[in-house]
Amino acid sequence: MRLKATFIAGIAIALLALTAPAGAQVGKGLADPNTADEKTLLGVPHLTAPIVKGLIEKRPFASQTDFNTFLTSHGLNKTQLADTYGRTFVHLNLNTATRDEILMVPNLGNRMAHEFEEYRPYKAMAQFRREMKKYVDDKEVARLEQYVFVPINLNTAADEDILSIPGLGKRMLHEFKEYRPYKNMEQFRREIGKYADKEEVARLERYVTID
């Protein structure tokens, strides 16, 4: 009888694991240049006070390509950019990032860039972890995860997933959920546009999808 109960409990735990949320869909660990405060940015290698001032005035950056263009326009070379991107980076959409953007991730070569692209479309960050573990160890997977995201489904995402979007707090979490179900992205722009300007809505839109 005790053996049977243990077996049933084991099945229940396994089912819970299968139905549990996949976890945050936006990698964490790096400062986001679109939301980080001045003090944090000044602590990033090669970001001088004038660069940080210009960065804050310029943001939000629509993509890592835009951020890279901004920094190169301020004279940062390839080695300096790698140092900077070890601390701050605009997350890459795993399903749409270009090869050039993927190669901006420090110490990532063409082979791994190919593996990033090989498994598209990604449905969850757990899938990215599983596929990348075929090629690198857990520590390297965790490092790479900091640079990427999988778009969050506006109609089904858990609170944890929505809150993983850089700079999104509980107030905006409420607004994201308030208008469910979303029928199209235009509805998202219209409703969230009540609380944020056009540039901020565009920044948030990068992280979401409607399936």
pLDDT in tens, 134-158: 999 999 999 999 999 999 999 999 9
Residue 23: pLDDT band with limits 50, 70, 90: low
| pLDDT computed for residue 24 by the predictor | 73
Q: Domain 91-150 belongs to what architecture?
A: Orthogonal Bundle (1.10)
Q: Check pLDDT > 70 for residue 195.
A: yes
Q: Where are the beta strands (DSSP E) in the chain?
A: 92-93, 148-149, 152-153, 208-209
**CB-based contacts of 56, cutoff 8 Å, min separation 6:** 38, 41
Q: What is the DSSP string of 40-82?
A: HHHTSTT--HHHHHHHHHHPPPSSHHHHHHHHHHTT--HHHHH
Q: Provide the pLDDT for residue 126.
A: 96
Sign of CA dihedral 99, 104, 105, 109: positive
Query: Taking a C-beta distance cutoff of 8 angstroms, is the pair 180, 152 a contact?
Result: no
Whether pLDDT at 29 is above 60:
yes
Query: What letter represents residue 78's amino acid?
Result: K
Mean pLDDT of 103-109: 98
